[in-house]
Structure 1
């Protein structure tokens, strides 16, 4: 393999609407893409922050702090279960993922019917893990009790998506970021596990369950992430070791085939030390995407990182290290063109 094969869009894309996202991605990346997301437009632009606004409206859940923390149209304050309320009694409303997916799929189908999206390309829906929302917004002492409540609500969203979208057209991506805050013990990013027993075992069991909730006729993939606030990781990984360990454990624990796994590559890392753990990657025939495309150094930087990666893993596609929904305005087309420049078609 002399160059990567295929490209993957992690989820968010910095366009204002679904149609622009899909048309542009299909035009610029064409046969390099097996899946197209909707760009996570609107209130989903900052990953899970909009979930706090939804949860904060629930009777028995309250916002923390007297004043909103504005983030465009969102309020980024955390939440907590009100004193005296049993979390198991809470009734959570629709979380917004299924409604957005149904609306975007109608656009995807129309564009495919017009020929703008090729036959065989799937519609990709990215979902956060339940752990991510619970770990990001609820206080530590409440997480064990509220996690099953939120998980059930998110699984209802998944079930609604599965009922509304033909399975042969659908791909589900689970986004794992707070998990790596726990693994790396990052203060403020869910640094403490709230379950008994081994931390890795708890994380692996949760992710395997999420994979297995997706029927085998629907593709499922995992985006492993070290965060992307202001285009910065919450901590820079020393190497790809924890990412490889997580990917291997997930594939081993899941009862179904994992269709793809995405791993980030920091912009500074084109050294063998970062990529060396990939020598031990054991994910079978799951597609591997390395997030080594960065807007700051374009194709030249991507090729430098590709050259090192190829010494440690024989086959992979390219991606950015996280979604590009928060990239500076006007840079998105250039980022997409870089994917096309450094990767071959499938």
Structure 2
């Protein structure tokens, strides 16, 4: 059996502050990591759930419903709509919060590196959602098509601020891609969304959108893609039959992109340690680094080893990861999850 080399922290980590995330990850995972995130702390703990509170401040955008829908950390989960009579193209969205968080956490990263807590050569990882995820989740009907380019411009302004402020040799940007997999798989809720938004096959549309996001990252900044089937309540929105649609989508995006992809992350469901799930990986296009999300909290190193054995029959070289971020993992389990990576993978 191939021993995987290296590990990827997908993004969120179940700690309250960025320093604890980076310090603990470095202590437990050491030479496994080529890049390290801040754990998506604060209101970013539940991925994009805080975005309606941000973009709902813009003139021309309204919250749907009179009463807030309370969520953790003071988040209001109400969806959004374009106000009657407002011209979507003229709406000016405020800063989305990703660049501000990245710059704050990068200063912690630099301090920890200067102290020797983070090794030289490790990059600071910033994870960002795709515009499609936010727009499809919080807008409905014709508003989706109208607001998508506005939000896309806003997220690219966040990228511009990040790459202008953080030295490129220190930076890695990851695009988190979940809603697109729901659309491709026609998972419950996603198929109807796209029938109204994009009549016909949406595949080319989700490919072109992601390849454009990859191309927006400067060539001397590392860029990765995390494909995902969601983890609400540690459950997928659909269980994939195998890795076939992941491979199909990844291959199309890689072919359409104007720059090389530094790394690709693919999820592996906990119950899949069979050859059939991994078989499509034999057709995966070459990437510099492939990470398989086969580390799971529930069965630790033993379960990961079973999935590693099955994957190794198809893919000779890969690193390990969880299938999604671990920001919503039960309290007290984080160190064990991080340690599992170290137990099953070799250092770079």
Alpha carbons 1:178, 1:190 under 8 Å: kept? no
Secondary structure at 2:40 match in 1? coil
Deviation at 1:140, TM superposition (A): 2.9
RMSD of equivalent CA atoms: 1.2
Q: Give runs of aligned pairs for residues 14-163 of structure 1, distance below 5 A.
A: 14-72=14-72, 73-163=74-164
Q: Tell me how far 1:186 sits from its aligned partner.
A: 2.1
TM-superposition CA deviations, 1:81-136 (whole Å, max 9, x none): 11111111111000000000000000000000000000000000000011111111
Distance (Å, rounded) in 2 between the aligned partners of 1:187 and 1:167: 40
In the TM superposition, what is the alpha-carbon distance from 1:55 to its structure 2 partner? 1.5
Tell me if 1:233 matches 2:203.
no
Question: Partners in 2 of 1:121 and 1:307 — Cα distance?
Answer: 28
1-structure distance, mates of 2:330, 2:192: 30
* Equivalent-residue separation in structure 1 for 2:52 and 2:288 (angstroms): 33
Contact 1:184 1:191 in 2 (8 A): no
Aligned to 1:9: 9
2:2–2:316: 8 Å Cα contact kept in structure 1? Answer: no
Picking from 265, 278, 281, the partner of 1:278 is 281
Distance, in Å, in 1 between the alignment partners of 2:75 and 2:189 is 20
Q: What is the TM-score normalised by the length of structure 2?
A: 0.97
Compute the displacement of 1:23 (Å): 0.2
The structural deviation recorded for 1:67 is 2.4
Distance 2:134 2:254 in 1: 23
For residues 168-204 of structure 1, give each alpha carbon's deviation from its aligned partner in whole angstroms, at most 9, with x where no partner exists: 0000000000101111222334643324664111111
Name 2:218's counterpart in structure 1: 215
Give unmatched runs, 5+ long, in structure 2. Answer: none
Contact 1:223 1:262 survives alignment (8 Å): yes
Aligned length: 345
Could you tell me whether the CA contact under 8 Å between 2:264 and 2:287 is conserved in 1?
no
Paired with 1:190 and 1:227, the residues of 2 have a C-alpha distance of: 16
* Partners of 2:57 and 2:94 within 8 A in 1: no
Choose which of 333, 336, 340 in structure 1 pairs with 2:335. Answer: 333
- TM-score, length basis structure 1: 0.97
CA distance in 1, matches of 2:249, 2:276: 18
